Chain A
Amino acid sequence: MRKKLKMPSIGGKTIILNVVKYLLAIIIAVIPLIPVWSMLLWLAVQSFSGRVILGIIPSEVTFKNWRFLWSPIKMGLKEYPNIWPVTLNTLFLALGVTGLVVFVSTLGGYALSRMEFKGRMELMQFIIALHAFPSIILLIALFVILNNLGLYGKGYMTLVGIILIKAGLEIPMATWIIKGFFDAIPWDLEWAALVDGCTRWKAWRTVILPLVLPGIGAISIFSFLSGWSEFLLVFTYVEDEAYYTLPVLIYHMIGEFKFIDWGMLAALGLFFTIPTIIFFSTSQKLLLRIYVGGIKR
């Protein structure tokens, strides 16, 4: 009898204990997300609110803040270019960087991973060392180079110049990442392709490259995002407002006036994050894989 009475009480206790345990784990896991999500939420709410009290508290629902989507942005007397050409500029920059980074680093990463040549080790160490320097210290030197190349103040060509610079800064890391993916592919596969009748180039293209797609996905996301959000280089090198990118435009929204239209800034900020959100939500799986360093087989 005694035993029978005891059993349910123990069961109840363990259930409560389990609930507490999991609740605690969930709370701890969620805490770091709270500031991030609350900020995004604030941005969203803010962008649809008419009047913002003290720059924090929203009131009234309106689409007024999103007016930049269909009309030029006016701040006092100054009129900024329409949002769509600016978005196009940003897209041009981001895709240009992505394309160049993917092209160079897949070839470079393969070479570092698979080919024997003099100074290979040193080159790899050098690539890591490159990350010790922030790009800001190169700003003036790069300006001189850009100017000498005749890429300064030349409209889209200036953006091309910035693509070159930005890709140059991204390529070492991307090469390093993709090298890890190439390392994970067994030699057997490449040899099999060679025996089957491939040239080395063909083996790279038809057998090796499809297998590092997750890696290519990862580096293209990284370089797209870093091109999309590039501020400093565009801010420094682009004079003509027609060739502004979104980050620079947003900066001007804050910088030019003491009186800030918080609602529009929020809407603009949200607009700016849309591609980021799309990219991340569609490619999460690819991104997760790079931290395990290669291909799951």
Chain B
Amino acid sequence: MVKVILDNVSKFFGKVKAVIDLNLRIGDGEFVALLGPSGCGKTTTLLMVAGIYKPTKGKILFDDKDVTKLPPRDRNVGMVFQSYALYPHMSVYDNIAFPLRLKKVPRNEIDRKVKQVAKLLRIEELLHRKPSQLSGGQQQRVALGRALVKEPDVLLLDEPLSNLDAKLRVVMRAELKRLQKELKITTIYVTHDQVEAMSMADRIAVMNAGKLQQYAPPTELYNKPANLFVAGFIGAPPMNFIEGLIKEINGEYYFDSEYFKLKLVNEIGEIIASKTSETIMGFRPENAKIILEEKPNTIQGKVYVVEPLGKDIIVNIKIGDMIVKILTRPGAELTPGQNIWLQLDMKKIHFFEKQTGKAII
């Protein structure tokens, strides 16, 4: 197993800048997710680590060895593609044995390893089949088997769960995580699904438009987003954002939006005011309470629509002409048009600079 270091890596395709100055350190045996919307450069990054793309600039290191110019076959990486990319003309057995045959491993050794991996992934009874005779979940296991059988230093997974149905995805999520912890292979996992990234990865690298936005463990990403993009991307339903000015009146700090004024905790207000006055406030749907009578320092709004989710409900609330989403337990009957007040958890609100989108607090 190795550490993987991406040192100022960029990849341009003609005028298109797919990845810009990416710095990433992935620890030995760590499970890192590259998370971002489609076209953010995460798959390009993965293909650079695999050696299929050569970086336009920068270096890639496995431990202390510079592998930037090495072809894929000399890197000892295993990769599972989004489409699984099983060789359709080979049986499952031959698919898994393929990397070993290329390495000229003795025949009985190949047989032993293929069977061992098949057992690990529970696909022993499928070995004689062709990929076209397998279900999506089985194909995914075979692809994983092919990647694991060569005992790679780094395992690369490109949206391996995206072609599975929702139920199987949840099962495979846990299974993949268990497998990774068991084998302790340094793993890079590309996904656009934040739930996948949050639930599986040790650390998540959030990317957007070719740039790294934040690289942190899941809880930190959730609780301390570095900027507006990360704040909006992580969490479902997404964080609510409200634009407004920070004002100081008689030594007290207020957040002043077009429709309401909110008194802030003094220390927080001071910090924000020292940086900028034009801000965007963000709060997560679960960090606000709906109350039915007016109290000091609350926001008045009207119920717009209620979306029941079973255990929870999402209440859409109209404040002026903005709509915010609040996640809460079903309780009091809420009817559209009804007047309500929002009480925010003041310790869990976020402020971002309006100009740069960077988090202040």
Task: Give the interface of A toward B (CB within 8 A).
Answer: 186, 188-189, 191-199, 202, 207, 210-211, 297
Q: With an 8 A cutoff between CB atoms, is B269 at the interface?
A: no
How many B residues face the partner with a CB closer than 8 A? 25
Closest 7 CB pairs of A and B: A197-B102, A188-B85, A192-B85, A196-B99, A197-B73, A194-B72, A188-B81
How many A-B residue pairs have C-beta atoms within 8 angstroms? Tell me. 59
| Complex: A195 Cα to B71 Cα, angstroms | 9
Q: Could you jot down 22 A-B contacts, CB within 8 Å? A: A188-B81, A188-B83, A188-B85, A191-B52, A191-B79, A192-B79, A192-B81, A192-B87, A194-B52, A194-B72, A195-B50, A195-B51, A195-B52, A195-B73, A195-B77, A196-B73, A196-B99, A196-B150, A197-B103, A210-B89, A211-B88, A297-B132
Q: In the complex, given contacts A192-B87, A196-B99, A199-B71, what are 4 additional A-B residue pairs having Cβ atoms less than 8 angstroms apart?
A: A194-B71, A195-B79, A199-B73, A297-B88
Q: What is the minimal beta-carbon distance from A216 to any residue of chain B, in angstroms?
A: 13
| Complex: A195 Cα to B153 Cα, angstroms | 12
By DSSP majority rule, is chain A's interface helix, strand, loop, or mixed?
helix
Q: Is the CB of A196 within 8 A of B52?
A: no
Output the residue of A194, A195, A196, A207 with the most chain B CB within 10 A.
A195
Q: Is the CB of A186 within 8 A of B85?
A: yes
Q: Is the CB of A195 within 8 A of B72?
A: yes
Q: Is the CB of B87 within 8 A of A189?
A: yes
CB neighbours (8 Å) of B88 from chain A are 211, 297
- The listed residue (B73, B83, B85, B132) touching A198 by CB distance below 8 A is B73
Task: Give the interface of B toward A (CB within 8 A).
Answer: 47, 50-52, 71-73, 77-79, 81-83, 85, 87-89, 98-99, 102-103, 132, 146, 150, 156
Known: A188-B81, A188-B83, A202-B102. A196 touches B89 (CB 8 A): no
Q: What is the minimal beta-carbon distance from B304 to any residue of chain A, in angstroms?
A: 44
CB neighbours (8 Å) of B82 from chain A are 188
Output the residue of A186, A189, A197, A207 with the most chain B CB within 10 A.
A197
| Complex: A188 Cα to B80 Cα, angstroms | 10
CB neighbours (8 Å) of A198 from chain B are 73, 102
Q: Is the CB of B85 within 8 A of A189?
A: yes
| Complex: A198 Cα to B73 Cα, angstroms | 6
- The listed residue (A191, A193, A199, A202) touching B50 by CB distance below 8 A is A191
